[in-house]
Chains A and B, each alone.
Chain A
Amino acid sequence: MARPLHTPGVILDGFRLEEIIHQGGMAMLWRVTRESDSAPMLMKVPRIGEGTDPAAIVSFEMEQMIMPRLSGVHVPKFVAAGDFAAQPYLVMEALAGKSLYARLPDLPLPYDDVAAIGFKIADALDDLHRQHVVHLDIKPSNIMFRPTGEAVLLDYGLSHHDELPDLMQEEFRLPFGTAPYMSPEQLRGVRNDPRSDVFALGVLLYFFTTGERPFGESETLRGMRRRLWRDPHPPRKLKADYPPWLQEIVLRCLEIEPAWRYPTAAQLAFDLSHPADVKLTARSERLKRDPFSTVLRRRFNKELTSPRPRAALSDQLATAPIIAVAIDFDGTDELNDELRLTTERMLAALPSARLACVNVLKQARLSVDMTLDAEGHNKHIDRMVRLKDWAEPLKLADNRLTVHVIEAIDPASAILEFASVSRVDHILIGARHNTLMRKLLGGVSAKVAAEASCTVTVVRARL
């Protein structure tokens, strides 16, 4: 069994305990150092002893299983783990600075600041979900930022890994999480839905923009359960100047039914970074909560609100990709028709996919380009109109379609950068048939296909 571990200076498996920096109900956090290792490190030690909540031990076991499997900038780097047979611990990278919790006294924050923070968190969640993990405890104290700007998600003690046994699921029938941020389905014991993290991020966005928690702070099960049928006050009721696009995003995250929320964190990140393209539904105009009749229907119509079986985490991500199609108006109509046909085939199989139509408005390298062309048309707006016209036969709902005209010198680099920033999963791009020019300069599609970090489909019109 574990022996108590309370004294600075103790050396454990090569790690020297320097100072205790946090003492929580479930674990202690120590700052530790190791010889020949200058990186700042933290050691998390679970509280084990008589009267310890078994949940604390199991939660620590889960974190020990999950953390070594995570990688990338959005998680603290895993260093070492100590066995339960001797002294259980986890050593990880210590991040500089404070968590988002430190911003609470400054709330509410400006809308654009919150959207920027929200984008970074959604981006980190997307990365985590792609690593098979649902966090299930997204809240300000579990979020930090690297000096380079990326959000880092902390604490995997309540998380679910799609490829590992979920020890929390079967051992404890009570919901675990942080009351104000917990999704309705989490309250019902569902632990494998990535949209639960989208909900928690919605709570955070609401809180940071209004200064109010959408579902209060009640910690009782009865108080928490109200969110199964009662929707929050629309932010515009609390703040008259609340931007409709932001209310649209926040209320969509907070939908009671997971299927009505953003299907993926990547799609949420996309909207947070393209406010002008957010489709404004009735959500964006709402000034009052749902009428009492709606609330009663939700409250007492059990089959409408009962959890239903759902696909695995990875399937959820796979059916809701962001697809970007690059349209070149200097190309032939045949090629653009072929691109539309390929797009249509792909979207038919993926009802939750989003399509971003991209056109690059080429800028001359040296001269300052004129916004107006010879006939006095605004080139940018003209291209937007033509993109919409290209997409019109696809008959996509507004929330599945966005159009983007990018002004750039190098079309391939512009498309690659757009794909990277917008977390695009699949690029469709047309290729012209061989010409002397293409042979000499290399095609845009060739460069995109060679350098993209996602799947690229190169489309050609048949000769």
Chain B
Amino acid sequence: MLIAFFADIHANRQAFEACLAQARADGAERFVLLGDYVGYGADPDWCLTAVMDLVDKGATAVLGNHDSAIANPGEQLNAEARMVIEWTRGELGIPQRRFLEALPLTVKDGDRLYVHGDASDPKHWIYVQSTTEAATSLSATNAAVTFCGHVHKPALYTMSATAKMTSFTPKTGAPIPLTSGRHWLAVLGSVGQPRDGNPAAAYLMLDTNKNEITYCRVPYDAEAAAAAIRQKGLPTWLADRLLVGK
């Protein structure tokens, strides 16, 4: 079975639509959503409604820090992000806000674990940016493969049976076999706000038969997403960065 994973959609309708369309065209039969459906982007209501629709049809979703901030003003966010969240609260209706409040921090699905950031302390939203943090996260779970987002840059970490760590920057479109006997941590690139210098929207496909993952990219209409951000009076840097993937 092919499962498509999306992380950090961040209210970017154009990017999310492009990823969904390509994943469906490539045969995705299931969807997993790794949090941060809102924040930064101009279409939180549309994106969240689309996520709820997918979940209704069997998709799995976990909570992200921006999602949590909708109901919890105490969440730590930078000034720009906080401003967008304040605006987003005025965009989401009751069903959307109830949906976010009910999302779990982690989901265990067979030998796979889904979480927004680090798995050792999910509610503190620690970024997995190096082998050190990856080792901490991997040590906290017995799942063979952990999928997370939050960093907005694709990366793959693996821990051997002797607790040695390897890191790898995945190549777009090249399938990677997740060999057994070791633990893997796949950090996804972001659907709605890529930060690895490539403005194309990022997602991931898992082939459960072959036990292979492929990091995918889709070019999308970033100009339209940026224009929508400017039109809503949100910080212009959030629009500009979409065009350069920073």
Known: A65-B177, A84-B179, A84-B180. A167 touches B171 (CB 8 A): no
- The smallest beta-carbon distance between A56 and chain B, in angstroms, is 12
- Residues 347-361 of A at the B interface (beta carbon under 8 Å): none
- Determine the chain B residues whose CB is within 8 A of the CB of A54 once the complex forms: 160, 162, 164
- Residues 146-185 of B at the A interface (beta carbon under 8 Å): 156, 158, 160-162, 164-168, 171, 174, 176-177, 179-182
- Determine the chain B residues whose CB is within 8 A of the CB of A57 once the complex forms: 161
Using CB atoms, name the residue of chain A closest to B211: A83
Cα-based distance from A85 to B181 in the complex (angstroms): 6
Known: A163-B174, A165-B158. A171 touches B164 (CB 8 A): yes
Task: Tell yes or no: A58 within 8 A of B by CB.
Answer: yes
Task: Tell yes or no: A164 within 8 A of B by CB.
Answer: yes
A 151-191 to B, binary, CB cutoff 8 A, 1 in contact else 0 = 00000000000111111011100000000000000000000
Cα-based distance from A116 to B87 in the complex (angstroms): 72
Task: Tell yes or no: A425 within 8 A of B by CB.
Answer: no
| Contact among A83, A166, A167, A169 with B180 in the assembled complex (CB-CB below 8 Å) | A83
Interface footprint category on A: 20 to 34
Majority secondary structure of chain A interface residues (helix, strand, loop or mixed) = helix
Task: Tell yes or no: A422 within 8 A of B by CB.
Answer: no
Determine if B166 and A167 form an interchain contact, defined as CB atoms under 8 angstroms apart.
Answer: yes
- Determine the chain B residues whose CB is within 8 A of the CB of A84 once the complex forms: 179-181
Using CB atoms, name the residue of chain B closest to A167: B166
Cα-based distance from A307 to B69 in the complex (angstroms): 47
Known: A165-B156, A165-B158. A170 touches B164 (CB 8 A): yes
Cα-based distance from A34 to B2 in the complex (angstroms): 31
- The smallest beta-carbon distance between A167 and chain B, in angstroms, is 5
Task: Tell yes or no: A64 within 8 A of B by CB.
Answer: yes
- The smallest beta-carbon distance between B182 and chain A, in angstroms, is 8
| Contact among B162, B168, B181 with A165 in the assembled complex (CB-CB below 8 Å) | B168
Task: Tell yes or no: A271 within 8 A of B by CB.
Answer: no
| Contact among A65, A162, A170 with B165 in the assembled complex (CB-CB below 8 Å) | A170
- Determine the chain A residues whose CB is within 8 A of the CB of B167 once the complex forms: 165, 170
Determine if B162 and A166 form an interchain contact, defined as CB atoms under 8 angstroms apart.
Answer: no
Cα-based distance from A57 to B180 in the complex (angstroms): 12
Cα-based distance from A458 to B128 in the complex (angstroms): 51
Q: Which residues from chain B sit less than 8 Å from chain A, CB to CB? A: 131, 156, 158, 160-162, 164-168, 171, 174, 176-177, 179-182
10 additional contacts, CB 8 Å, given A58-B160, A165-B158, A170-B165?
A: A54-B162, A61-B181, A64-B177, A85-B181, A164-B174, A165-B156, A165-B176, A170-B131, A171-B160, A171-B166
Pairs across A and B, CB under 8 Å, 30 listed = A54-B164, A57-B161, A58-B160, A61-B179, A61-B181, A61-B182, A64-B177, A64-B179, A65-B177, A65-B179, A68-B177, A84-B181, A162-B171, A163-B176, A164-B174, A164-B176, A165-B156, A165-B166, A165-B167, A165-B176, A166-B168, A167-B158, A167-B160, A169-B166, A170-B164, A170-B165, A170-B166, A170-B167, A171-B160, A171-B164
Closest 4 CB pairs of A and B: A84-B181, A165-B168, A163-B174, A170-B166
